[in-house]
Chain A
Amino acid sequence: MQNVENVEELYEDEQKIRFKRRMRLALVYAVVIFFAIFIIIPFYWMVITAFKTETQVFMSPPMLWVNPVEWQWVNFSLALERAPFIRYLANTVLVAILSTAGTIITTILSGFAFARLNFKGRDVLFMILIATMMIPGEIFVVTNFLTITSFGWIEDQTFVEAVLAMTVPFMTSVFFLFFLRQAFKQIPDELYYAAKVDGKTDWQYLWGIMVPVALPTITTITILNAMNTWNAYVWPRLISQREEFQLVSNGLRDAFDDTAGRIMYHEQMAASIIVTVPLIIAFLILKKYIMRGVSRSGIKG
């Protein structure tokens, strides 16, 4: 008898626990969904505004939904006419490609030296480089502007000079060097000795073995660096002497400032979508690499 009671009690307990667990899970979902909505709303508002007519934009209370049949796709072409956005996009892509290519090459070479070679002052030099990561970029901006000026890249600026000024200072990065060195260090030494036995030079070993093995990390660096260019605002604004040399962020901000009177929000949001969507698509495709890069940067090396 006693036994049976116990079993029933246990059964009841189990049900209670299961119920509690379900409630807890429901609560978890509720909170996560609440915050997810908080994150999504600005995107939603951007998209829905971009599809409104001018009258719909300036309605109070605001329209929360627009029938897809009535979506004003024309806003996108209006936004593109408002400023030379195609040109800005082309500039941005060019600058991103050049500065990323430069960064990849310089960090691969120096990452190899720090990870694989033994040389005088290696550890001291590495510590000094790491220490510079603490210094805010504004310290560099002031003097770099003077340096770029003394290179003659500001006065009577040509497009090539503008591109040089936007890319050359960013063709290396201590952070990415550090990041790549960590990846290189994880490659077993045995591979190096084996390559040496096969008569391979350092150069051949670096490009034939290390770089392919570290390709995921190099991909991550490529994406993060391209993202930086995409979002760059201050430096291109400072050094580009002509409007048509600017990058997307500058064009976006300048074309829709409200000094000219009422802001055409529907066009502004359409332009914002044009600038935002390429990054989001890249993120969805390359999510794995971006997240890894970011979370790695949070782990002590």
Chain B
Amino acid sequence: MLEQERNIAAWFYLAPALILLAIFIFYPIFNSFVLVALEDYNYLQQTYDGFTLTGNFRNVLNDPNFGQAMLNTMLITFVSVPVSVIIALLISVWLNAIPIQKIQGFFQTVFFLPYVTNAIAIGMAFAFMFNRRYGLINWFLGLFGIDPINWINMGASYGNAMITLLIYITWLTLAFKIIVFLSGLQGIDKQYYEAARVDSASRARILRRITVPLLSPMIMYITVTSFIGAFKTYTEVIGMFGERLGPPGDPNSMTTIVALVYDALDRSGVPGAMSEAAAAALILFAITLVFTFVNMQVSKKRVHYG
């Protein structure tokens, strides 16, 4: 039903939120583009040396850590997202197959726990688990006669440190995906499964032909948000490696794009640092946009909106 317009009343109700959004969301978007256009901007003295179109972006690209940050972010994204989406999907399907509600509820609670943990606290627990001499992982591997591996301690290889980080990120991000998938599974009409049973379709076939297509909007949603989340990886690295962003003796080897933003912000007094931070953030935004767009295109063909 169309009601009479109530403009004054509406703006009164909107005002508190809109004022805050204007200052802390809309203005920053606009100002980011201003910042990247200024050369050697010094916010303390409010001075700058002129304007530049690409200078600040070039500063980011020339940052000694840029290549490493790009590589790490891409590795984290393209390994941890598919792996955790698939594992989360399988766990959800199996969890949903448990017939006794109480037991299912118990396991649900277990799988959701990582969602409510502090990324710093549990990251430190992971770091100690993977400790070369005193850690649980090397003890376990030792049971199979595998020599202690230097995962994240002094002198650890890039590959080992990255594997440890990937395991941690996968562990941390499973919970959210399982919650979403489970709620999706529980919304699927049981009739589909009954029909499949009448046709005596195999389990794998049911999963491929019924569950995955009907869950595809959720899978799509999870994939997009996980990609965006993975591009923004930062506190996970801090939790595991500290502000050093790498194993001892190898600082910044685990750096990410977001870390570039905060590194620049830490140098905020230096002329141009703010613009560099803004440029790095805009690069992150551009990457996010491209991948969201690609995901949307793929989903147009694959996603089944019931």
Contact = CB atoms under 8 A, between A and B. Distances in A.
A29 B17 contact: no
B6 A119 contact: yes
Contacts of B126: 42
B29 A136 contact: no
Contact of A298 (B98, B183, B288): B183
B17 A172 contact: yes
Given A132-B29, A147-B24, A295-B180, A269 B128 contact: yes
Interface residues of B, number: 105
**Prevailing SS type, chain A contact patch:** helix
Contact of B28 (A105, A120, A142, A233): A142
A137 B124 CA distance: 25
B95 A32 contact: yes
Given A112-B13, A169-B24, A287-B109, A295 B284 contact: no
A59 B265 contact: no
B21 interface: yes
Residue from A28, A120, A149, A295 with most neighbouring chain B CB atoms (10 Å): A295
Interface residues of A, number: 97
A252 B235 CA distance: 13
B290 interface: no
B179 A143 contact: no
Contacts of B57: none
Contact of B238 (A35, A253, A290, A298): A253
Residue from A120, A272, A280, A283 with most neighbouring chain B CB atoms (10 Å): A272
Interface string B109-123: 111111111111110
A134 B91 contact: no
Interface string A98-139: 000000011101101100011110100000010010111111
A265 B127 CA distance: 10
B282 A119 contact: no
Interface string B1-21: 111111101110111111011
Given A62-B139, A117-B6, A145-B265, A39 B111 contact: yes
Interface of B: 1-7, 9-11, 13-18, 20-21, 23-29, 31-32, 35, 43, 87, 90-91, 94-95, 97-99, 107-122, 124-126, 128-129, 131, 133-136, 139, 142, 171, 174, 176, 179-180, 182-184, 203, 217-218, 221-222, 228, 231-232, 234-235, 238-239, 242-244, 248, 258, 261-262, 265, 268, 274, 277-278, 280-282, 284-285, 288-289, 292
14 contacts: A31-B94, A35-B91, A40-B110, A45-B125, A61-B142, A118-B2, A119-B9, A140-B25, A143-B31, A202-B9, A233-B119, A233-B120, A248-B118, A279-B118
